[in-house]
A = this chain, B = another copy of it.
Amino acid sequence: MKLEGYSIIGSSRSSGTNGTFQAQNPATGEALEPTYHAATEDELDRAIALAGEAFYTYGNSSSKTRAEFLRNIAGEIDTREEEIVERMMAESGLPEGRCRGEKGRTVGQLRMFAALVEEGSWVDARIDLAQPDRLPIPKPDLRSMRRPLGPVAVFCASNFPLAFSVAGGDTASALAAGCPVVVRAHSAHPGTAEIVGTAIQAAVAKSGLHEGVFSLIFDDGIALGQAIARHPGIHAIGFTGSRSGGRALMDLAAAREVPIPVFAEMSSVNPVFVLPGAMAERGEQIAEGLAGSVSLGVGQFCTSPGLVFTSGEGKDVFTQKLADGLGAVAPATMLHQGIARNFADGVSRLSAQAGVRKLAEVPADGCQAGPVLFQTSLPDFLSNPALSAEVFGPATLVIDCGSESDFTAAAQSLEGQLTATVHGTDSDLENAGPLLALLSQKAGRVIVNSFPTGVDVCSSMVHGGPYPATSDGSSSSVGTRAIDRFTRAVSWQGVPESLLPAELQSTNPLGIQRLVDGVPSRETT
């Protein structure tokens, strides 16, 4: 398709301009055609007004309608795979395999949510039957289920141009819930965004839905993003990005006349603890796996391990092996100049801290980055919060702990994390219950004998965690739980069958799992 460079407002293209920008090929520095036009505030208002209109029908659409729509989006993306991959590679510097893989994950997520809404138990339908003879007062007929919040704004991530962007997990889960979505594209990959946006626009038309179900806004500044967060027509925000960006949205949303929830996935250093038995038994093997995890995707994953706590015999060999492994990784292109600059700054900042030694560094220039390994002592780590700040990219810090018992103090000192990982033998783990319990209070996901960079998309995944890993530590932005974020429970009392949502009708026409008088059931009532 020919890229046009204008925002998608419902079924139309905008024509206004609020400044222009171009994407850049991070590998070559080349500016990519076309010129993109930032949307005007009027266009934003129009997109959000359309979303509000669409909510009256889309918010009450059947699960079948929404499932079909999600599958149509997946299909439209599939048919555009070649042009998506080509543009994504040019805009992001990511290799072809990763681009195809991320496309697969993106359509997989859409189809997973389609299956979820069809299966139906996610609405948490509950029925308490009337008891007219109950004393001292009769019990009314009460039924409840999750309903969509209203129009949702999604801010795209830089590091997943597909899976956490225009048709990514936030959009897929919001649409699955019944919320129209206004997406703010990431300015680093507007072309990829535009192709995916037209795929969704085509699916809206194919499914015969109100055009306001989806709009895509281009912008390369922050004012329009702030306007989105302040807009009374937006009912929730999904965001994946920096801590400063996420916190700014949280603060704007909390200061509104009507505050709204912000689901921001922000920063995490993903601590790894190597217990002494595992260190002695297979320290070198863990070091090898860790080098792969740290350098995967040039370290540009939210779950990249940035802290490694070591103790026990063999830890020096482990650290040397990790330094060798990371030192052998070739430098590679980062997503954009801004990320590469931030990485270089982060490495300089960490290098300058007292007690921090640099053990390995792969030199790189331009928009490239190579792995960097730092080491420090536990006392230095505990006394300097700068050492636990995220350096987004392929850097990690080994913290040399005297003994396993130091791990508790180390874990206790941590901020909220997306993940926390423990490597241990069976005998290590027998005594690790308290450490794991502590880590489960600090992180959204606790991992044993594996690496955090794989984030499986399924019903048990929690890709979340206490602040500052996310704004709302009770949520997940990956897996089926992500849909909960864009819903609220509503209860109906004494409402006639014909006016109840299908999910709550006595005949259970959708055949879904419900809680009837407190007991799980698929029966009619």
Contact = CB atoms under 8 A, between A and B. Distances in A.
A121 B261 CA distance: 26
Given A466-B488, A489-B476, A492-B446, A459 B254 contact: no
Contacts of A432: 499
Interface in A485-504: 487-496, 498-499
A229 to B, nearest CB: 13
Given A126-B460, A495-B436, A441 B150 contact: yes
Contact of A495 (B250, B415, B446, B480): B446
B520 A460 contact: no
Contact of A454 (B60, B140, B436): B140
Interface stretch (A20-28, A66-74, A281-289, A467-475): A467-475
A100 B250 CA distance: 44
A456 interface: yes
A447 interface: yes
Interface string A446-467: 1111100010101111101011
A445 B429 CA distance: 48
A121 to B, nearest CB: 6
Interface residues of A, number: 82
Given A432-B499, A476-B489, A147 B259 contact: no
Interface string A422-448: 000010011011001100110111111
A218 to B, nearest CB: 30
B448 A496 contact: yes
A450 B259 contact: no
A520 B515 contact: no
Contact of A467 (B259, B440, B441, B462): B259
Given A101-B136, A450-B140, A489-B464, A128 B429 contact: no
A492 B429 CA distance: 14
B489 A436 contact: no
A480 B480 CA distance: 22
B461 A491 contact: yes
A518 interface: yes
A413 to B, nearest CB: 13
B473 A488 contact: yes
A499 B434 CA distance: 9
Interface string A127-164: 11000000011011011100101100000000000000
Given A250-B254, A459-B518, 15 more contacts: A101-B136, A128-B458, A139-B458, A147-B440, A149-B473, A258-B466, A258-B468, A259-B471, A432-B499, A443-B490, A446-B490, A446-B492, A460-B491, A462-B491, A466-B488
Interface of A: 55-56, 59-60, 101, 119, 121, 126-128, 136-137, 139-140, 142-144, 147, 149-150, 250-251, 254-255, 258-259, 261, 415-416, 426, 429-430, 432-433, 436-437, 440-441, 443-450, 454, 456, 458-462, 464, 466-468, 471-476, 480-481, 487-496, 498-499, 513, 515, 517-518, 520
